Chain A
Amino acid sequence: MISETLKKPDIQLRKGQKITGKWHHKSYQIVRELGRGAIGTVYLCVCEQKQVALKVSKQSTSITSEVNVLKTFQKVQGDNLGPALIDVDDYQASNGYMYAFYVMEYISGERLESFIRRNGDEWIVSLLIGFTKDLHLLHQQGYVFGDLKLDNLIVSRNPIRLRWVDVGGTTLQGRSIKEYTEFYDRAYWKMGERKADPGYDLFALVMVVLRIYYPNGFNRGNNPKRTLMQKINQAVQPAPFRKLLQGIILGHVKEAIEVKQYLLTYYYQQRDKKRSSYRTLNNSDEESYYPLLEMLSVLSVSGAVYLYVTIFLS
């Protein structure tokens, strides 16, 4: 009786510690802690000279649920939706308890907010185009990501792409959201239910964008809807992008694919505007892709004029 009710302690793995699975007998050496969440801790590990990420938890059922989600993602051909699943096993700790863990591909990269701070916020739109495409694919599989937040996102290098790294909140559509974080939660802002539908993810995505502009977050206030609208108006610069974010918050935009299309159109319009400004500068009908070539041509024209002037008019 007592042994059943006694609480299983959280597990703490040390740097350099070696973990061997009970079932598949693979060994992993801990390098460092990558992140800690409500359910478990993720460590960077080395296995057969390759870097992998290992998530371990005292709640074996949560680990199993996450493995189920990752397995579903694996079946989707082409794009890989989540990190690739490498191994699932149990670890017998020295305290006598058994801890379930799984091993996945290690995605190295930078946190979204620091990436944006370094490279400028015009990157937000281009990163979101790729991300909403992935999100749409996930929604088509019948899932909703759920716990979408800055901590669960990473900008990977080669190719530069916004990716999610923790699938703990991923929920079947139509069910209640498994895991959420208040600031990103639609129901907390009283803008809808805590139920898994594509709009739930899109709402959280808007909050991700806002969190880049407001690193410390902000309070809900007496009128959450008005607070959100105000914060968007104050921080987000290009008007079309602002309109999109507000449309999502109000629930007018419900599908990830709509967001992608909208952003894509906006992106092309931006590029066309830039192009047409080059055109007027150049007075040529040819399309100009390379600013360097343009510079050269401008220089050579001015050079010819200079030569003409010096040789024939002096």
Chain B
Amino acid sequence: MKTGTLKQILLITDGCSNQGENPAHVATMVAEQGITVNVIGILEDDQTEQPSGLQEVEDIANCGLGVSQIVYKQALSQTVQTVTKQAMNETLQGVVNKELKQILGDQQSLEELPPEQRGEVMEVVDDLGETCDIEVLVLVDTSASMGNKLPMVQEALMDLSMSMNARIGRNRFSIYQFPGKKKPLEQLVDWTAQLDSITSIFSKLASGGVTPTGPALKEAMYQFGKKTLKRRFMRNDFRDIEEA
């Protein structure tokens, strides 16, 4: 079974958006493109209750068919890798469920199989999770209030790269921050397999209270599109040569 490359956007933020279109709506569009949107909301150390602003975190992930989690910054490393892997597994289950429906008829999905048969199907999902290729575009909110959390974000991303690279499948990561200086989105790290060498990438903090989550998400979707388009051209070239 082939799954192709899984595509994910990982949004790390600490509050609600206040500029541009509704991010949950944008997330729906992104999901339509086959890209999962996962969101991690970071709490302040002294926050004991979930502030209302972070309700948006769950909405975006729901619309983006992804996973959301709200954590304190200390737990960030472990959360980032759990969320990424969980979303990956859910996507793969979706793929397997589709296959199952084709084989067994419309009403069958993994959860509806008797437990005895579920085990074998699960082995397939586990295998796919270990071997599939994955691309993660990390979108970091660098508005002023995130300042004290960015060192932890950086560490969490290095840890994510370590977790993912222990798999057999290939990984590619890129990191963007928003808001950028003049644009809603600014690239920090271009597509790379390893994030272990990133140091002090979040040097420039945006001042002012603008958090354009929606526009940033939209821009991130275009970044994915651009890259695949470029690669498709290259691949096609090679294929022509091979066929000839």
Contacts and interface: CB of A to CB of B under 8 A. Distances in A.
Contacts of B123: 68
Contact of B122 (A68, A90, A175): A68
A88 interface: yes
A38 interface: yes
Given A61-B125, A176-B166, A187-B162, A5 B62 contact: yes
A151 to B, nearest CB: 15
17 contacts: A5-B62, A7-B58, A7-B62, A23-B114, A60-B118, A61-B122, A61-B125, A64-B115, A64-B118, A65-B122, A68-B123, A71-B119, A100-B115, A175-B130, A175-B167, A175-B168, A176-B164
A61 B119 contact: no
Contacts of B118: 60, 64
B111 interface: yes
A71 B116 CA distance: 11
A179 to B, nearest CB: 9
A100 B126 CA distance: 18
Given A23-B115, A68-B122, A187-B163, 4 more contacts: A23-B114, A64-B115, A174-B168, A187-B159
A163 interface: no
Nearest to A59: B86
A68 B117 CA distance: 11
B111 A176 contact: no
A258 interface: no
Interface string B203-231: 00000000000000000000000000000
A64 to B, nearest CB: 4
A116 B205 CA distance: 51
A38 B126 contact: no
In the complex, the 4 A-B pairs of residues with the closest C-beta atoms, listed nearest first:
A176-B166, A88-B115, A64-B122, A195-B166
Nearest to A180: B78
B115 A67 contact: yes
A52 interface: no
B54 to A, nearest CB: 15
Contacts of A177: 163, 166
Contacts of B125: 61
B197 to A, nearest CB: 14
Contacts of B164: 176
A182 interface: yes
Interface string B61-90: 011010000000000011000100000010
Nearest to B163: A194
Contacts of A175: 130, 166-168
Contact of B62 (A6, A23, A98, A174): A6
Given A61-B125, A182-B78, A187-B162, A98 B111 contact: yes
A310 to B, nearest CB: 77
Given A176-B166, A182-B77, A60 B119 contact: no
B196 to A, nearest CB: 10
Interface string A169-197: 00000111100001000011000011100
Nearest to A71: B119
Interface string A79-123: 000000000111000000010100000000000000000000000
A50 to B, nearest CB: 21
B6 interface: no
A204 to B, nearest CB: 15
Nearest to A187: B162
B91 interface: no
Nearest to A38: B82
Nearest to B64: A5
Given A61-B93, A61-B110, A194-B162, A176 B130 contact: yes
Interface in B184-204: none
Nearest to B96: A61
A26 B78 CA distance: 37
Contacts of B163: 176-177, 187, 194
Nearest to B59: A5
Contacts of B167: 175-176
A67 B123 CA distance: 11
Contacts of A61: 89, 93, 110, 122, 125
A257 B224 CA distance: 49
A193 B159 CA distance: 11
B78 A193 contact: no
A65 B120 CA distance: 9
A89 B126 contact: no
Interface in B85-137: 89, 93, 110-111, 114-116, 118-119, 122-123, 125-126, 130
A5 B65 contact: yes
Nearest to B167: A176
Nearest to A89: B115
A60 B130 contact: no
A207 B154 CA distance: 26
A258 to B, nearest CB: 24
A98 B166 CA distance: 33
A285 to B, nearest CB: 58
Nearest to B66: A5
Nearest to B120: A68
